[in-house]
Amino acid sequence: MKPRTRGFTLFELVVVISIIGVLAAVLLNRLWFYQEKAEQVAMQSTLQAVKTGLQIRLAELIITYRQQEAARLEVENPTQWLSILPTDYAGDYRKPLQPGAWYYDSARRQLVYVPRNNNHLEVAAEDGVKQLRFEVKLIKYQSVIYGSRVESVEGVRLVAVYPYRWL
């Protein structure tokens, strides 16, 4: 009988390589998941900044008694009310689209985000394209003053055109 030499057998080497492969696959899967979550947080942060800019602009119009100009908020690019444009803002919506960027679609009057990582994103768009589209909507109310109806603007929202959710 031969004495056993030191080292790994072929079987032990295959088992170790298999375990390392499985661990690497799990690690990469989690890495992609967290990259997508980071993109989601960045997108929501930019969206909140645009909402805040719109609300400040509406407040400015109300305070300066120019409420009749509020209707322009629904048709203009909402990023113009930001003091600093987002670093991922790419301007007018035209093809080819860069993933991970914001655009303004002037034909539809919508703010558009094209996600870079969209494996865990569901968008109920009619065309099936995974783009997040938002429109500016004024919140209006009607009141009766001295017997006549008066419509006033009380707020502004940035609403999703198509429902979406990150899983």
Residue 129 corresponds to which tokens in the numbers above? 């394209």
Selection from 129, 155, 137, 120 nearest residue 43 by Cα = 120
What residues contact 164, with CB distance under 8 A and at least 6 apart? 121, 122, 123, 124, 132
Residue 80 corresponds to which tokens in the numbers above? 């113009």
pLDDT at 152: 86
Residue 47 corresponds to which tokens in the numbers above? 């969206």
Model pTM greater than 0.95?
A: no
Kind plus residue range of the DSSP H or E element containing 35: helix 10-63
Q: pLDDT tens digits for 127-142?
A: 888 999 999 999 998 8
